Structure 1
Amino acid sequence: MNPAFAISVPRLQTERLMLREYRRHDFDLFADHLAKPESSAHLGSADRQTAWRIFSSHAGLWVLHGAGWWAVEDRQTGQLVGNVGAFFREQSTVMELGWNTYRAFWGKGIANEAATAVLNYAFEVRRESKVRALITSGNESSRRVAERVGMTYEMETELNGKAVNSYIRER
């Protein structure tokens, strides 16, 4: 890799998880997750080509904003279990928090643990004043994660022409 283009994605550790930079070999699991209707019911499924654009965009956000998405791996096994992000949308000045846990790891508290680590990073390291999560109506699992990490319902808004609920947490 050309060092002029190297970026540093901070690594975050929790008791069970390592949040780290995306790696090329992470893509197959990422694409498989987005292709499964049960896994992507609230995001919309994506074919492999679209998944590659999303994956690359997630990684590229670090270059544009110094914030982006992390791959989440189990520290004990090294297995990839999902992803979590703290990022900015094009027209927003408010950091957004997002998370996905791969289907085999649902119900194990991984999203809660990863989201908590990222919120701490956003507030303590980046000194963000607030962080928002946009959650589709009916996504009860993500609503519960947002509430468990101290976020509260703010309002209904729109994302890509679809109604979503905004949850917010302030420092």
Structure 2
Amino acid sequence: MITETDRLILRPFNEGDFESIYLMNSIPEVLTYIPQDPLTDISQAEEVYHNIIMSAYQEHGFGRWAVHHKQDDKVIGFCGPKYIPEYDKVELGYRYFPEYWGKGIGFEAAEATVKTLKPQYNIDLVIALILHGNIGSEAIAKKLGMHIHEENEYQGAKVHLYQMDL
């Protein structure tokens, strides 16, 4: 476990999470503001786990973390830091299943994550790359105290780059 809140446990993903990884990357509604094609097979989730998630854990000591909902006893999304080489900065990213939107989960997990970044990983500055129009993600960033630093592009999409010193 990385950290927890009253409702959530944030922990590294493991091989038991392939279905959740698949769903987070295949539901069109979840991917509205994500510049990637949806996964079409669970074997692709295994590849994401091994080639992206585990690679980040091994290379940087951190990465996207599973958000486990205590009451529902399941992984409902992810939240966590990811090193973005194009910016040479650490991004706070988050993604949840639609049935958990609008319940404060995103902010709760993001706030808990931000509190771990400096003491556990010596990260002094965090960014959020948010596609234009993603009002929900922008609301979380603003509530955390992040501010728009610049407008830019990421993976071919126009983004607001939010930033915050820790």
Same fold by TM-score greater than 0.5? yes
Instruction: State the TM-score, normalizing by the size of structure 2.
Output: 0.89
- The number of residue pairs the alignment matches comes to 162
For 1:90 and 1:52, the matched residues in 2 are separated by 23
Tell me if structure 2 keeps the 8 A contact 1:101–1:111: yes
2:131 matched to 1:131?
no
Q: Which runs of 5+ in 2 are unaligned?
A: none
Q: Structure 1, unaligned stretches of length 5 or more?
A: 1-9
Match in the other structure for 1:54: 48
CA contact (8 A) 1:132 1:168 kept: yes
Partners of 2:30 and 2:73 lie apart in 1 by 21
Letter in 1 for 2:40: D
Deviations 1:35-60 (A, max 9, x none): 12111111143333544433331232
Q: Once the two structures are aligned, what percentage of the paired residues are identical?
A: 28
Work out which structure has the larger RCO, using CA pairs closer than 8 Å and 6 or more positions apart in sequence: 2
Moved more, 90-99 or 59-68: 90-99
Cα distance 1:90–1:135, how it changes in 2: closer, same or farther (>3 A)? same
Query: 1-side partners of 2:16 and 2:156: how far apart?
Result: 33
Query: CA RMSD, aligned part only?
Result: 1.7
TM-score, scaled relative to structure 1: 0.86
**Per-residue CA distance 1:75-102 (angstroms, 9 max, x = gap):** 2332111111212023443211000011
Q: Shift in Å at residue 156 of structure 1? A: 0.7
